[in-house]
Amino acid sequence: MTHDTNEHARAAMGLVVGTTETATIEGISAAGADPEAMAHTPAADAELIAYGDVLEAPAVPVSPSGCPTPALVTRAVRDLVGFDLVTIDAGLGVETAAPTVSLGDRAGNDIRKPTAVPDAASLWERGRRYGRRLPADRLVLAESVPGGTTTALAVSEALGVDLSVSSSLPENPIDRKRAVVTAALATSGYSPGELAGQPREALAAVGDPVLAVLAGTAAGALESETDLLLAGGTQQLAVVGLLRAAGIDQPVSVATTPFIAEDPSANVREAAERLGVEVLVTDPGFDRESGTVFERYRAGEAKEGAGMGGALATAAREDVSMERVRTRIATRYEHL
């Protein structure tokens, strides 16, 4: 594997995890069977990818209809490729048995409060310092934060970046999200686009701790010329919007799944073009399989998250066939 054939090129995934009260707003996220379970989703994702199973977390996250977390796919790829993993805690709010680098220590507030992330600037800076020093040759930055697409939308609105967002629900509750975002900007006292060029202020007003750490870590990794791949959907486009707002103009790639790339409610390709982002889509070929996981994803659930698109891109890069990935996903799913 990579370690052996090329001892110097180390691929690593940085999984940034955290929570925001925003996730508890009814109807905006499917990242957990219910609000109680959702609070544990990022920690459970981190444990699943680190160990192949949950330890402290009460259960492997599933949506209300039984669709398993995309972290299952990320872990299945890790079984095959063996990439290094660093879980970065941006503010989990619960105990976890996953090994973490702790950069934050509190959940984000509901973005409809005046301030969502009081320490956004410090989280960005801690991320930047960490990203700059991390000696990976290739870094895949991923995230797990329920409610994250809503905060991504809010931050982008504040920055004046046009970003339609995707959803972990098959029917994207986009009107619900827009209403939350409108309320969020109003209570923070900003009109759309008023925080153009002020990424830390936008994060503090209507962001979440994971976005702040992601953007900071990405900025640091780019500073030290690490080969960077942002893994995810619209949240990672929001990260690019934040980087651009900070005056960072380097080329950036986003790896995502076809479930996001082809989501008609979120025009990822157009938004990516505006931001000067290369979008890497890896098709895992779920249409060739039957079984709950493959069917739920085909029906538009979950779609992406917890590094799924980045893991699939890594598998493709390491010449691991998608057939092997699918077989491994099925085995992992049965095991649960």
Given the rule CB under 8 A, which residues bind its own copies? 1-4, 7, 10, 50-53, 55, 78-82, 86-87, 97-101, 130, 133-136, 328
Residues 6+ apart with CB under 8 A from 114: 187, 188, 189
Shortest reach from residue 38's CB to its own copies, in Å:
22
> And the tokens for 66?
């039984």
Shortest reach from residue 52's CB to its own copies, in Å:
6
DSSP 167: -
Shortest reach from residue 99's CB to its own copies, in Å:
4
Nearer to its own copies, 168 or 217 (CB): 217
Nearer to its own copies, 2 or 22 (CB): 2
The pairing of beta strand 100-102 with beta strand 84-91: parallel
What is the Cα–Cα distance from 144 to 19, expressed in whole angstroms?
8
Inter-helix orientation angle 209-223/199-206, to 10°: 160
Nearer to its own copies, 136 or 240 (CB): 136
Shortest reach from residue 311's CB to its own copies, in Å:
13
Shortest reach from residue 288's CB to its own copies, in Å:
21
Helix (H, G, I), strand (E, B) or coil at 37: helix
DSSP 271: H
Shortest reach from residue 230's CB to its own copies, in Å:
20
Burial of residue 304 (number of CB atoms within 10 Å: 0-12, 13-18, 19+): buried
Nearer to its own copies, 85 or 145 (CB): 85
Nearer to its own copies, 112 or 138 (CB): 138
Q: Are 142 and 14 in contact (CB under 8 A)?
A: yes
> And the tokens for 295?
């069917």
Nearer to its own copies, 53 or 289 (CB): 53
